[in-house]
């Protein structure tokens, strides 16, 4: 499968953070306009000082977000960067994305939670309308571009992160950390339900992100129950910097439909609970449960390799190899296009080479991204959309096979 074929194939990106996926030039321009100091005001300089090829750990990887979040504090910046992210995805054949972000990071005086989400929604709709007006798309010859919004809660936050979190802390001065985390995630879940069902925005689900160790999913159980009862999609960052227990908590406590990363699913050494005496059996049962329930794992190869020293320079050591062997439901994602300097086409190309994937295997993984999406439409609309993308993918692969033969 050539890079050109990969580019043309219809793809999804179900795990892409808006604040980690700005164009580097846009980040510099917005920082200049808003008087925000950067370590460098050249793209090469930022690649050298902030957005590097390798990071020591996840904490270092996340440092760049202090700059991206700083420029995303108004409607113009949020709508523009959302529009540009959609454009960048469209240019490489990505036909469906789910953009995730934590609205509370962007709240400020005169610009509230709902305003933040409306700005992102506007950027998506503008980019979608422009792309779907193309003759080949409007005629139905090619699949249209669509997108959903996933609102993120954070496992842990401090008042200096944003005005949005500072307000929560000020409103609950006597609350415990667990109560604060629960209150913040409840705000996310309730807003997601309201903005989707009452305002008709493109909100499709919620997510839980941030440091796992010491900040359990249990703190967010009530918020996820609210989302569950509102029929929202539920995904959780789990197994990214903690072990299999975190993944189980996401599924058992939060009703997770999908797992973000799941990198340490098979690592028995990262189990810490004393009650788990047979670690091997625990991992086997967890993997079997995930496979049986078709809980999809959002695999982010490049970002995992950048933050996990154990993976080193050998991507074939990534646990995706074991996920594939066990026939788990997986889909490739970029995580952060800027921070990881990657694209969906790059992720797929790297996967094909590292794991010797056949054309058919790649095609099936790409299709599963569409099937396991939180598509913002009816079930019948989603079925028709998935069918169209399958037919379009098959036509590309059949044409490529004819050329090669």
Q: Annotated active-site positions, please? A: 240
Residue-wise pLDDT tens for the chain (405 aa)? 899 999 999 999 999 999 999 999 999 999 999 999 999 999 999 999 999 888 877 778 888 999 999 999 999 999 999 999 999 999 999 999 999 999 999 999 999 999 999 999 999 999 999 999 999 999 999 999 999 999 999 999 988 889 999 999 999 999 999 999 999 999 999 999 999 999 999 999 999 999 898 899 999 999 999 999 999 999 999 998 888 999 999 999 999 999 999 999 999 999 988 899 999 999 999 999 999 999 999 999 999 999 888 887 899 999 999 999 999 999 999 999 999 999 999 999 999 999 999 999 999 999 999 999 999 999 999 999 999 999 999 999 998 765 454
Nearest one of 337, 338, 361 to 351, comparing CA atoms: 361
Report d(CA 263, CA 23) in Å as an integer. 27
- Determine the 3-state secondary structure of 218 from DSSP: helix
Predicted confidence at residue 310, as pLDDT, reads 81
C-alpha R_g of the chain:
20
Predicted confidence at residue 399, as pLDDT, reads 85
Predicted confidence at residue 93, as pLDDT, reads 98
Q: Give the contacts of 81 (CB within 8 A, at least 6 positions apart).
A: 18, 21, 22, 23, 26, 30, 72, 123
Report d(CA 126, CA 79) in Å as an integer. 9
Report d(CA 56, CA 59) in Å as an integer. 8
Nearest one of 120, 77, 85, 63 to 13, comparing CA atoms: 85
pLDDT for 34-75, tens place per residue?
A: 999 999 999 999 999 999 888 877 778 888 999 999 999 999
Eight-state DSSP code of residue 171: H
The domain locations on the chain are: 3-399
Predicted confidence at residue 57, as pLDDT, reads 78
Element at 146 (helix H, strand E):
strand 146-154
Predicted confidence at residue 402, as pLDDT, reads 53
Predicted confidence at residue 405, as pLDDT, reads 42
> Residue 255: left if φ>0, alpha if ψ -120 to 50, beta else—which one?
left
CATH of domain 3-399: 3.20.20.140
- Tokens 């993984």 locate to 365
**What is the Cβ-side half-sphere exposure of residue 183, based on CA atoms within 13 angstroms?**
18
pTM, two decimals, is 0.96
């Amino acid at each position: 499968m050539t890079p050109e074929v990969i580019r043309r194939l219809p793809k999804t990106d179900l795990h892409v953070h808006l604040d980690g996926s700005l164009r580097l030039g846009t980040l510099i321009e917005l920082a200049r306009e808003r008087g925000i100091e950067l370590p460098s005001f050249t793209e090469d300089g930022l690649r050298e000082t902030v957005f590097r090829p390798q990071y020591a750990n996840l904490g270092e990887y996340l440092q760049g977000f202090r700059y991206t979040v700083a420029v995303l504090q108004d409607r113009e910046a949020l709508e523009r960067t959302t529009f540009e992210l959609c454009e960048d995805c469209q240019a490489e054949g990505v036909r469906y994305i789910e953009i995730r972000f934590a609205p509370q990071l962007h709240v400020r005086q005169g610009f509230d939670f709902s305003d933040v989400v409306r700005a992102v929604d506007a950027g998506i709709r503008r980019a979608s309308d422009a792309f779907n007006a193309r003759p080949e798309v409007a005629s139905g010859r090619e699949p249209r571009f669509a997108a959903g919004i996933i609102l993120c809660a954070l496992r842990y936050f401090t008042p200096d992160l944003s005005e949005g979190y500072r307000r929560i802390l000020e409103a609950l001065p006597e609350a415990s950390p667990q109560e604060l985390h629960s209150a913040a995630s409840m705000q996310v879940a309730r807003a997601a339900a309201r903005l989707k069902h009452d305002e008709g925005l493109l909100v499709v689900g919620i997510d839980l992100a941030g440091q796992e160790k010491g900040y359990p999913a249990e703190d967010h159980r009530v918020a996820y129950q609210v989302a569950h009862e509102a029929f929202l999609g539920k995904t959780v960052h789990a197994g990214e910097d903690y072990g299999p227990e975190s993944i189980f908590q996401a599924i058992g406590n939060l009703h997770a439909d999908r797992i973000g990363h799941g990198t340490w699913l098979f690592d028995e050494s990262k189990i810490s609970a004393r009650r788990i005496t047979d670690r091997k059996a625990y991992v086997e049962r967890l993997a079997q449960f995930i496979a049986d329930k078709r809980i999809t794992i959002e695999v982010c190869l490049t970002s995992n390799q950048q933050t996990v020293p154990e993976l080193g320079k050998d991507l074939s050591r990534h646990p995706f190899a074991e996920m594939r062997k066990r026939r788990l439901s997986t889909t490739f994602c970029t995580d952060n296009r800027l921070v990881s300097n990657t694209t969906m086409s790059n992720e797929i190309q790297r996967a094909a080479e590292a794991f010797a994937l056949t054309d058919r295997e790649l095609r099936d993984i790409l299709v599963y991204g569409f099937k396991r999406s939180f598509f913002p439409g009816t079930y019948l609309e989603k079925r028709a959309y998935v069918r169209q993308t399958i037919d379009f993918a098959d036509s590309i692969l059949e044409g490529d096979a004819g050329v090669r033969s």
